[in-house]
Amino acid sequence: MRYINELREGESVVGHYLCKTKQTLKSRAGKSYFSLKLQDKTGTIDAKVWDLNNEIKSFEENDFIKIDGTVLIYNNEPQLNVRRIRKSMDGEYDPMDYIPSTEKNIDVMLKELLGYIDTIQDQYIKALLQEIFLKDETVKKCFRTHSAARTMHHSYLGGLVEHTLSVTQICDFMAGRYKNVNRDLLVATAMLHDVAKVRELSQFPTNDYTDEGQLLGHIVIGAEMIHEAASKIDGFPKTLENLMKHSILAHHGEYEYGSPELPKTIEAFILHCADNMDAKTKAMEEAIAGNTNQGEWVGYQRIMQRNIRTSVY
């Protein structure tokens, strides 16, 4: 098969892809057309079906489809002009070719992340981490393979554990560099800051917002998970529960980025900085890796709100 990251302008493409999104739109002339987003394990590509004729068979979002089209460049991004579509048949494709996955070893990362639990000295914080990571059935089932986001960063199988480990490592490093930092509190909330993504987003191949995710979001769900776990631990201090929930509620850092609260403790502020740094640095890394432009400039990246240049000189 031809992977999306291998497609080049002017190529004819006949192959199987996962249809992530499907919209029926109207052209300026009032003619209906399909706007699609196709996916394989290397990324996604926009596709347009301008002529809805008999060669376009019935299909829906999250179907595997066989397409016949041509690659063109639109607004400096590759796009497919599709002439023919039909649903793929069993045996014509391997589902794992369509699920983007971390390049790192998931089991090694998860073992290292869970190993932080044994480094926690506070008995209540350790018990809460055990309650969520070792006893919560949804977390046990989904955390290992979940994505960390729908599209913005680490949006692939294993992305959640990769991002969580990175943020936890950064916070552990930062905890020893400043006074008045509660290392147990900081490391624990780093481990927990995105754990509610297992309820906000569905599993692959859909990797889309659940009903709970749409209505509440992972920040609120995460605070609720801490409360639920704390209520199962005898004598869990209410102030500690509030401090942990505050770090979760404030980890996006600003109201306009979805945080119900601004960081008001040093641990919450460090967590926000670590999360922001890892997410945005990963977005830059992915943009550079997926660059198909000629020259050093990658192009405008929405998450960074700027053009990005490689370090080639």
**Lowest mean pLDDT: which of 50-54, 102-106, 240-244?**
102-106
pLDDT of residue 131: 98
Element (H, E) at 78: strand 77-87
Residue type, 27: S
Angle, CA 29 vertex, CA 28 and CA 31 arms, to 5°: 100
- Reference 133, options 99, 101, 168; nearest CA is 168
Average pLDDT over residues 31-59: 93
Alpha helices per DSSP H over the chain: 106-115, 123-130, 137-142, 159-175, 183-192, 197-200, 211-215, 217-230, 238-249, 266-289
- The pLDDT tens digits of the residues spanning 249-307 come to 999 999 988 899 999 999 999 999 999 999 999 888 888 887 767 788 888 887 788 88
The full set of domains in the chain, from first to last, is: 4-97 (2.40.50.140), 99-287 (1.10.3210)
Residue with tokens 């983007």: 100
pLDDT of residue 77: 86
When the pLDDT of each residue in the chain is averaged and rounded to a whole number, the result is 92
Q: Read out DSSP for 50-103? A: ---STTB----TT-EEEEEEEEEEETTEEEEEEEEEEEPPTTS--GGGGS-B-S
Does the structure show a pLDDT above 90 at 213? yes
Beta-bridge mates of residue 151: none
Average pLDDT over residues 128-146: 94
Does the structure show a pLDDT above 90 at 183? yes
116 within 8 A of 191, measured Cβ to Cβ: yes
What is this structure's pTM? Answer: 0.80
Cβ-based neighbours of 64, under 8 Å, separated by 6 or more: 16, 17, 18, 19, 87, 88, 92, 93, 95, 98
pLDDT of residue 87: 96
Percent of the chain with pLDDT strictly greater than 70:
99
- The pLDDT tens digits of the residues spanning 48-77 come to 999 999 999 999 988 999 999 999 999 888
